[in-house]
Structures are given as structure tokens and as C-alpha cells.
Structure 1
Amino acid sequence: MSNGALPASRPQLQYTQEHTAVGLGHPALGLHARERIEACAQAVRRRFAKPVEVAIILGTGLGGLAAEIEVDQVVAYHDLPNFPLSTVESHEGRLLCGSLGGRTVIAMQGRFHRYEGYSLQQVTFPVRVLRALGAETLLVSNACGGMHPLWAPGDLMLIADHINLLGDNPLIGPNDDLLGPRFPDMSEPYDTTLRHLAREVAAAHGITLREGVYVAVQGPNLETRAEYRFLRGIGADVVGMSTVPEVIVAVHAGMRVLGLSIITDQCLPDALTPAHLPEIIAVAKSAEPKLAALVKGVLARL
């Protein structure tokens, strides 16, 4: 694979009058136009020339995992054309370019959410850029509320599947076939092989690793008792406000995905207590060593 190029299985970026005049001018897809993606990717390449193998998205309270990365270059989001800016506490807003577990990685230290006012095309634009930089694997993490009565704050959960209740989809609008298919299959959004590796690493390190279903809601408010009952009733084990749009776009782009959640609070409707963000972040940070060991172990076995 040449430096900065898409993997051989994906076509190179090619701009035509048809794409410019028809598809890429659409207000939704325009944010994913290949010209915009490539302009941002080139800005990253000028600072970090190595082809990227793995992309990592760090969620709320998980920025400390960045300490495990051997960082060669730090790129602030505000230095990248077309890139959104983080507005949420604990999201630093920068790309960490370097190596982890023997792999060349770029980690997003700070992600974006629908509740910040961004469209889902803006939320997922960084995934398009990371794919253009060569990443074939996406490791996505988040902090979430636990609805499974037998799981506790601080537990890690391997995402086996998800439910999208955001009321939107980042793929709405005209499709650019050079970015991905019109109707991507979602029968296995979280790669079976990567999940198997995660379970192996967890067992080797003595880490308790739950496995279940993540449901994404808009937020920013937390849920009512009735809403938690509903979410649990439709098959969700944990609830959060991110991850699903990024995974949809990653699958659309042909990436393998591994999803990991830190359960930061219990959301049991009959024993519900008020949630406080500092406590949530503290629980996430306390679980980071386990998450770091899991991520490094998976990367070493790829």
C-alpha cells in the first residue's frame, strides 16, 4: 500500500464533473465529498506520513488511554480543514499519531455527537478521513449506562450488536459508490474475528469482559425510568449517545470494527439514582487500565 493511499481493495479518490455537479453538492453528502475527505487527509499526511493501519476513537473519560500510545505527532482538530471541533468535557480535540501494540495508529482523542448540534455526516466525517489514510480496522470505545442488572459500573463490555435510536442515519442522501455501497449489509457490524481476539486477550489478562447490545440515543439528557424499561425491553444491555453512526460509516467504507464500552453507571429503573458527570468520568478513568491492556493485546494479535 502506498503512503496515504486507500487500501488496494478500495478505489483511489477520483474526481469527476458528474460527482461534483450531482452527488457531492447535496447538503448531506457534501460533508463526505471526496474532495473534502482528501483535503483533510492530506493535512494529516503533511504531519504524519506513515500509512495508518488502525484507527481508534476514544470516548468520554477515556482520553487517558492515549498515554499508552507512542506518539510521533499530535494534530489539533482546529488545524484540519472540514474537521468538527470537540465541545464536550474530557474530549481533548486532537489526533494522536504513532504506534500501539506494534501497529501504526491514529487515535481520536475526542469524538463528536448529535447532541452537540452536528449532523451525523459531520459526526462521522473523521471516520472517512481515517479510512482515506489507510486504516482498515476501527477500534471504537465509549462510556455508557448499564441496564443489565447483573453488570456493575467499571465493567467492560464487548459490543456484539447495536440499536440505532438516533432518528437519523449518516448515509442518508445520494450515495458515492467509490466510498461504499448504497445498501451496506449490517448483519455483522462488529467483526467476529476481532471479538474473538478480544475475548482471548481478556481471558489471558484475567479481565471480566461482558458482551451485549449497545443502543444509541440522541441525548443530551439521560433517560427516564420508563425509557430505561423500554430500552431494556427491546434488547439493549447498555445505552449511550455515540458510536453507532461511526460504526455505520466504517462498515459502509469496508472497515473491520471492534467496539468496547465501559459501564460507568447503573440505569436500573427500580433503583435509579441521579447521575453526575464527574462520577461517570471517574469510573471511566478507573477502568482505563483494563481497556488499555485489552486494546494493546488485540492489536498485538492482529
Structure 2
Amino acid sequence: MTAAGAAAEILYRAPGRQPRTGIVLGSGLGGIADRVEDAVIIPYGELPGFPLPSVEGHAGRLVVGTLGGGMVACMQGRVHGYEGNGFAALKTAIRALKLAGCDGLVLTCAAGSLREEVGPGRLMAISDHINLLGTNPLAGPNEDSFGPRFPSLTDAWDPELRSRLHAVARARGIDLAEGVYAACLGPSFETPAEVRMLKVLGADAVGMSTVPECIIARHCGLRVVGCAVITNLGVGLGDGPVDHDQTLRAAGAAAADLEGLLVGFLEGLNDTGSNQEDGRRP
């Protein structure tokens, strides 16, 4: 099994560093991995079955080490559906993190805001999602060893972990909004009409990623929490440019707040050790 082989390689290459939390860093956010201490860096190409990103701002490395006092496996870059290679490699990566010891997954991404009051530079905790990719990463034969054929996505974005994220934001003075994330296939940005449609559907932010990772993670039993960095207002809602260069610039500018939020979140998890009320870790 490829995921098992990748997990074995991670543990072999990073001895004594069994990760408990996986982190996926989105466009322009890879620099957060530089904060990982005592790090072992493994290029995706050296992990069997791992995805190879083709988009600027996604380095394609797994960074294993300590962040916020806990052991993490940080995916420095992701792949997207619009790259045309399907989701098999993404499933391998997320499942390998699970098999390597992770109990939870922190997802980050860059996103466009559909709410005028939540502008560029803000962070948004993801409370739910709308899958408009036109497909599902679990389509095809089910791998029963990882999860059921028809997994529930009720509370896919863990309410308890999201509450902890908000608590850290309040304590650190970080302006954290909350909303529903809509995933579109891309790679073209949305039209003004599509932005109006998404608002009617109940979305608060839109991007081209993140939802597949959440679905795969929940299928194999990982708890999920997510945070989007708002890089622009949706087309028709603001006057600024909407392009990938602008996305990378805005994500980089907000990375310090996201870094503080993630480190504080992980510190809180490691202060409590495990969730005493139910025996689970995130």
C-alpha cells in the first residue's frame, strides 16, 4: 500500500519525531514551515506516491519536527484539482500522515472573501464547506481499511478545535473571522456572476483547494481544523486586482498572524496533552 510505504519512509527519515498533527500550508504560506524546530525536510519526490505541486508558492516538501511544543508533519505546498492529476496522490499523502501517527490535520489556504467587511489580510476560520469541484476525492473504489463507503461530513470542521482557534486569536489580539469556504475547480478566477451565486449559496470565502484534504482526512478519522488567509475580495466586490501574484503577496503579508495563531493553537494542545474529556487528541 503506497500510503503505508510513505508513512514508513517518513518515520525512517525522521527517527524519534513521530508527528501528532499534520499541517497543510497553502499558497504563499510555506514560510511558516521555517519555524519548525529540529526539522527533517523530505522532498515530496522522495516519498512514494506523494503529490508533486506545479504551482508557484508550493515548495513540495514535508517538514517534520517541533512547532508549538508538539511534533508536526508540515506539508509545505499542496496540489490542486486543476493541475489535472486527480486526487490519488493527495489521498496517499493525507493517509500517510494518519499512518505515521497524526490524529488531526490543520488546513490553511489563501481565499477570496465574499464578505466586504472581511477584507485582504484577515484570517477566517472555516466552519463548513461547499464542494463545487465537480468531483469528490473518494470517488472510485472505497478503501475500507481507511474508512466507510459513505462517510458523514457532519461537523467535518471540528467545532471544538475551531473554538480553541478562536480562543487563541482572542488571547493574541488576532482578528479572526469565521465562515463557509466554497471550493471551485479553477484555475480561472470566478466571474462576477459566480461570486454573486456563491453569496446566495451561503459561502463566505472561495478558493481552489482545501475541501479535498478535509474529505480525505475525515474519511480516515483525522480531526480537521482550518483557517483561510483572505487575499482579496471576490470579483465585483472590490477594486483591487485578482491574480496569483496578488494572492502570494497578500498571503505573505498575513503569514505572521497565521503563524502566531498556529503556534498558539499547538501550544494549547500540548499544554493539555490530550483531550481529557474524551481521550482524543486533535
TM-score normalised by the chain length of structure 2:
0.92
Paired position in structure 1 for 2:153: 186
Q: Where do 5+ consecutive residues of structure 2 fail to align?
A: 270-282
Question: Which among 198, 202, 214 is matched to residue 247 of structure 1?
Answer: 214
- 1:138, 1:230 → 2: CA distance? 30
Q: Does residue 215 in structure 1 map to residue 178 in structure 2? A: no
Question: Measured at CA, do residues 175 and 276 of structure 1 come closer, stay the same or move farther in structure 2, by a change above 3 Å?
Answer: closer
The sequence identity of aligned pairs, in percent, is 43
How far 1:42 sits from its partner (Å)? 1.6
77, 91, 95: which is aligned to 2:58?
Answer: 91
In the aligned structure 2, how far is the partner of 1:164 from the partner of 1:52? Answer: 29
Kindly state the Cα deviation for residue 173 of structure 1 after the two structures are TM-superposed: 1.7
Q: Shift of residue 274 of structure 1?
A: 3.7
Letter in 2 for 1:40: A
- Which of 2, 7, 10 pairs up with 1:44? 10
Aligned residues: 268
- The Cα of 1:301 is off from its aligned counterpart by 1.2
Q: Aligned letter for 1:114? A: G
Q: Given the alignment, which residue of 214, 218, 224 partners 2:191? A: 224
- Structure 2 partner of 1:70: 37
Whether the 8 Å CA contact 1:56–1:106 is kept in 2: the answer is yes
Aligned CA RMSD, in angstroms, stands at 1.2
Structure number with larger C-alpha Rg: 1
> 1:217, 1:122 → 2: CA distance?
19
Q: Report the CA distance between 1:43 and its aligned residue.
A: 1.6
Shift of 1:120: 2.2
Q: Using a 3 Å threshold, how does the CA distance of structure 1 residues 270 and 280 change in structure 2: closer, same or farther?
A: closer
Given that 2:232 and 2:240 are in contact with CA atoms closer than 8 Å, whether structure 1 keeps it comes out as no
Structure 1 residue 273 displacement after superposition: 4.8
State how far apart, in whole Å, the 2-side matches of 1:215 and 1:172 are.
19
What's the offset of the Cα at 1:175? 1.6
Q: Residues 72, 211 of structure 1: CA spacing in aligned structure 2 closer, same or farther, 3 A cutoff?
A: same
**Structure 1, gaps ≥5 residues long:** 1-34
- DSSP 3-state at the match of 1:227: helix
Report the 3-state secondary structure (helix = DSSP H, G, I; strand = E; otherwise coil) of the residue aligned with 1:300.
helix
Q: Scaled by the length of structure 1, what TM-score is found? A: 0.86
What's the counterpart of residue 238 of structure 1?
Answer: 205
- Counterpart position of 2:70: 103
CA distance in 1, matches of 2:176, 2:51: 33
Aligned residue type for 1:284: A
